[in-house]
Structure 1
Amino acid sequence: MLEINIKTQPIKKLYNYWLSKAPLGMLPARHDIDPAEMAEFLPHLILLDVQTDPLDFRYRLIGTHISAYLKEDLTSRWMSTLDHQKPPSRIWDNCKKAVETRGPVFPYTPYIGPKQDIVEMEDLILPLARDGINVDMLLVGVTYIHKTTD
């Protein structure tokens, strides 16, 4: 199990859900993931298709919580076509790491976007594999932590 210090409830719930769906020694598949079981944290999710040759990532689904913080709708876009996400970029490298290691990646990805009251974001990248071994999708959870007003 990944030793991480998760701050936000949606990311904690996502991680525990993913662990509960992983067969012993294998990765969960997309068909193991049921959106009805994820209602509490579904708005915080991104689902990425993974293309392996050449490596690329396509935004299949972007939750409503996340889309509210984006400059534009990225649904159906390939990461390689986005200036701030194509290689070399931190987002690309983190997704690549999840594919290569076949394990969770808990990166620190700085928020770059239009909202000025965001202090940080918390994200978690979880691999999915139709055959339990070869990563073909990434399940990503994202929450935004706002400045507190005293």
Structure 2
Amino acid sequence: MLEVKVKTQPIRKLYDYWLSKASPDKLPARHDIDPAEMADFLPHLILLDVQTSPLDFRYRLIGTHISAYLRNDHTNHWMSTLDHQKPPSRIWDNCKQAVETAQPIYPSTPYVGPKKDIVEMEDLILPLARDGVNVDMLLVGVTYTRKSAPLI
């Protein structure tokens, strides 16, 4: 499994949690993930459904920390319907890579949103698979750093 060197506590906790649910030859599934065990970083999570034919991603859950930094609530929207996320876009390509490789993706996606004081966004895309192999969901962690604030 790819080792990821993260910067913020919520992303570190998410990655450690995901690793604890994975095995050397199987990805964790959605049913392995328990929100009650993720209280420390739940506000920093996005859960995406993966549709494979044609490829698309549907926002199932957007944590409260993340929604505060978005222009609109994307819950239940398909990524292909969002102008700044549909292909070709960096976020689409990052999600596609996570599906195709069945590996964590630590992409350093730039922040695009209404808040002008964001200097950095840290994101981590983690694959989930009902059968342990074929990715059918993505668990994404996101934190934001403001100009005047330490990493959160």
Classify the secondary structure of the residue corresponding to 1:88. coil
Amino acid at match of 2:28: P
Distance across 1 between alignment mates of 2:60 and 2:148: 33
Q: What residue number does 2:53 align with?
A: 53
Gaps of 5+ in 2: none
Amino acid at match of 2:55: L
Give the alignment's Cα RMSD to 1 decimal: 0.9
Q: How many residues align?
A: 149
Query: C-alpha offsets along residues 43-97 of structure 1, whole Å, 9 cap, x if unaligned?
Result: 0000000000000000000000000000000000000000100000000000000
Q: What residue number does 2:33 align with?
A: 33
Q: What residue number does 1:138 align with?
A: 138
Q: What residue number does 1:114 align with?
A: 114
Classify the secondary structure of the residue corresponding to 2:100. helix
Distance across 1 between alignment mates of 2:26 and 2:67: 31
Classify the secondary structure of the residue corresponding to 2:95. helix
TM-score, L = length of structure 2 = 0.96
- Moved beyond 3 Å, runs of 4+: none
Amino acid at match of 2:127: P
Q: What residue number does 1:88 align with?
A: 88
Classify the secondary structure of the residue corresponding to 1:10. helix
Distance 1:5 1:23, change over 3 A: closer
Gaps of 5+ in 1: none
Distance across 2 between alignment mates of 1:6 and 1:24: 21
Distance across 2 between alignment mates of 1:51 and 1:69: 26
Distance across 2 between alignment mates of 1:24 and 1:7: 25
User: 1:67 and 2:67 equivalent?
Assistant: yes
* Identical amino acids, percent of aligned pairs: 81
